[in-house]
Amino acid sequence: MLGETIKLAVRAIWRNALRSFLTVLGVVIGVAAVIAMVTVGQGSSAQVTQDVEKLGTNVLIVRPGQNAMGPRSSSTSARPFDLRDVARLIREVPAVETASAAEQSQMSVVAGNLNHRATVVGAGNAYLDATDWEVALGRRFLGGEEQGGRAVCLLGETVRQELFGNTDPVGDKIRMKSISCEVIGVLEAKGASSFGSDQDDIVMMPVRAFHRRIAGSSNVNLIYVAVRDGVSTDLASSEIEAVLREMRRIGTGEEDDFTVMDMKQLASMLTGITDVLTGLLAAVAAVSLLVGGIGIMNIMLVSVTERTHEIGIRLAVGAQARQVLQQFLVEAIVLSLMGGLMGIALGLGLAALAAQVMAIPFTPDPWVVLGAFAFSALVGVVFGYFPARRAARLDPIEALRHQ
C-alpha cells in the first residue's frame, strides 16, 4: 500500500514537473545553504587546527594576565614577564626544553629606497626551535648576538621579496625606525596562516635588541616554551604554573595572573570562534528551509483543491480518510525529500568549490548530510500535514460534485 502511494505521489509530482521543481526550490536552497555553510565551516576549523598544530604540538604559550586572547591592556593588571623569568623557566622546570620571549610590533622596514610594513619580532633561536622554523639562507643568531642584543635580523620570505627581490640579502642592511640592522639570513617560507595573515611578513631580531632599540622596555608579554620530548604538555604546563606562581608570589587560593596554553587549547579556542560563526550562518540558512516548507504547504493546498474531484472518486470507491491523508502527506514528503536530495548535491558541490577556492580541506560530514535529509523529510511532514488533513476531511458527495 505504501509502495503504491509513493508511486502515485511520484507520478503526481512528475505530472506537474515544473511546478514541483519551483515548489521545492526553497527547500533545495535551504538545504544547500545549510550544508555548504556547515561543510565550509568545518573545513576551515580543520584548517585552523592543522595550522596551529604546525606551530608544534609540544609548544606552550605563556602570557601574563588571565584573558589569554584579550587586549594587551590585561597586562596592566598583571605584571609582564621579563627575560629573567624566561631564563628561570628554562633552568628550573625540568619539562622545559627551551623557551623564548616573542615580542612584536608593526613598523616600516626600509632597504635602499624600498619601504615595506612588516611585523618585527624580538625573539631568539629558541623561538625558531619551538616553532620548528628553519633558516633557508644565511644563518641563525649567534650566542653572542642574542646575549649582546646585537642589531642583526632574519627576514621572512615576503619581506625579502618586497625589499630585495630574488637577490641574496645576507650582509645587507635594513632600517627600522632609527636603527640599522644587518641581515644575517632568510627564513623558509611558511605561507598564510588560517586567518589569511602572512606568516612570512616578518623581521626577526634578538629580543634584547628589540627591547633596547624598539620597545624601550624589557617587558616580555609572550613566551614560547618547547616541551622536552616524551613529556606531556599537560605535565609541562602544570610544572610551569607551579614555578610561575612561586616566582610571582601568588598565594594559595589566589588565581593565576598568567595563562599557560598549549596549541590544542589555542586551536580549540580559535575553532570555537569559527564554529559559532558557522552555527549562526547555518541558522540563517535554516530559515530559508522554513520558507521552503511554506512553499510546499502552499502548493499542496492548491493541489488538494485541484484534485478535489479525484479525492471524491477515491472516497466513493472506499478510500478511508487516513488513506487520503497518507496519499497527500506522502506526496509532500516525497516532494521535500527530492528537494532535500537536490539541496544536498548542490550544497556539497558549493562546499567543494569553496574549499578549492579558499584552499581549505573539503570534509563533508555524513551526519550533517543525514541531518539535512531528515530535516527535509520533517519539513514535508509538518507542512504537508495541514493540506493532507484538509483533503482527508472532504465530504465524498461534495468532492464528487466539484469539477
Partner 1 sequence: MPEQARSGAAPAVIELRGITRVYGRGEAEVRALDGIDLTIRAGEFVAIMGPSGSGKSTAMNVIGCLDSPTAGEYLFNGVDVAGLDKDQRALLRRHYLGFVFQGYNLLPRTPALENVELPLIYKGLGATERRARALVALEQVGLAHRADHDPSELSGGQQQRVAIARALAGSPEVLLADEPTGNLDTHRSAEIMELLVRLRAETGLTIVMVTHEEDMAAYADRLIWMVDGRIAEDRPTKGGARDAG
User: Of residues 117, 246, 309, 374, which one binds partner 1 by CB under 8 A?
Assistant: 309
Contacts of partner 1 in 117-156 (CB under 8 A) = none
The residues, ordered by sequence, that sit 6+ positions from 358 with a Cβ below 8 Å of its Cβ are 40, 43, 44
Residue 315, interface with partner 1 (CB under 8 A)?
Answer: yes
Toward partner 1, which CB reaches closer, 254 or 398? 398
Q: Which stretch binds partner 1 (CB under 8 A): 42-50, 194-202, 275-283, 319-327?
A: 319-327
Q: Is the dihedral of CA 345, 349, 354, 356 positive or negative?
A: positive
Toward partner 1, which CB reaches closer, 18 or 357? 18
**Could you give the CA distance from residue 31 to residue 344 in angstroms, rounded to a whole number?**
6
Contacts of partner 1 in 379-398 (CB under 8 A) = 396-397
User: Of residues 316, 353, 359, 374, which one binds partner 1 by CB under 8 A?
Assistant: 316
Q: How far is the CA of 15 from the CAs of 127, 381, 384, 403, in angstroms?
A: 69, 21, 18, 19
State in angstroms the smallest separation of the CB of 389 from partner 1: 14
Residue 359 DSSP code? T
Residue 321, interface with partner 1 (CB under 8 A)?
Answer: yes
Q: Which stretch binds partner 1 (CB under 8 A): 87-95, 213-221, 280-288, 317-325?
A: 317-325
Residue 318, interface with partner 1 (CB under 8 A)?
Answer: yes
User: Of residues 77, 115, 238, 320, which one binds partner 1 by CB under 8 A?
Assistant: 320
State in angstroms the smallest separation of the CB of 388 from partner 1: 16
Residue 329, interface with partner 1 (CB under 8 A)?
Answer: no
Helix, coil or strand: residue 322:
helix
Toward partner 1, which CB reaches closer, 125 or 326? 326
Three-state secondary structure readout of 15-62:
HCHHHHHHHHHHHHHHHHHHHHHHHHHHHHHHHHHHHHHHCCCCEEEE
State in angstroms the smallest separation of the CB of 308 from partner 1: 12
The residues, ordered by sequence, that sit 6+ positions from 27 with a Cβ below 8 Å of its Cβ are 289, 292, 293, 295, 296, 336, 339, 340, 343, 376, 379
Residue 80 DSSP code? P
Name which of 150, 67, 160, 72 is nearest 109 in CA terms: 160
State in angstroms the smallest separation of the CB of 397 from partner 1: 5
**Could you give the CA distance from residue 323 to residue 333 in angstroms, rounded to a whole number?**
15
Q: Which three cell numbers mark 18? A: 515544473
* Count of residues interacting with partner 1 (CB under 8 A): 20
User: Of residues 132, 172, 256, 310, which one binds partner 1 by CB under 8 A?
Assistant: 310
CA atoms lying within 13 Å on the CB side of residue 12: 23
Phi-psi bin for 398: left (phi > 0), alpha (psi -120 to 50), beta?
alpha
Residue 22, interface with partner 1 (CB under 8 A)?
Answer: no
Residue 400, interface with partner 1 (CB under 8 A)?
Answer: yes
User: Of residues 313, 353, 370, 374, which one binds partner 1 by CB under 8 A?
Assistant: 313
Toward partner 1, which CB reaches closer, 147 or 320? 320
Run of H or E including 263: helix 263-306
User: Of residues 16, 298, 323, 363, which one binds partner 1 by CB under 8 A?
Assistant: 323
Q: Which stretch binds partner 1 (CB under 8 A): 84-92, 228-236, 240-248, 312-320?
A: 312-320
Residue 330, interface with partner 1 (CB under 8 A)?
Answer: no
Name which of 92, 218, 84 is nearest 149 in CA terms: 218
The residues, ordered by sequence, that sit 6+ positions from 43 with a Cβ below 8 Å of its Cβ are 351, 354, 355, 358, 360, 361, 362, 363
State in angstroms the smallest separation of the CB of 303 from partner 1: 14
CA atoms lying within 13 Å on the CB side of residue 337: 14
State in angstroms the smallest separation of the CB of 326 from partner 1: 12
Toward partner 1, which CB reaches closer, 15 or 249? 15
User: Of residues 174, 314, 360, 379, which one binds partner 1 by CB under 8 A?
Assistant: 314
| Interface with partner 1 (CB under 8 A) | 1, 4, 15, 309-310, 312-323, 396-397, 400
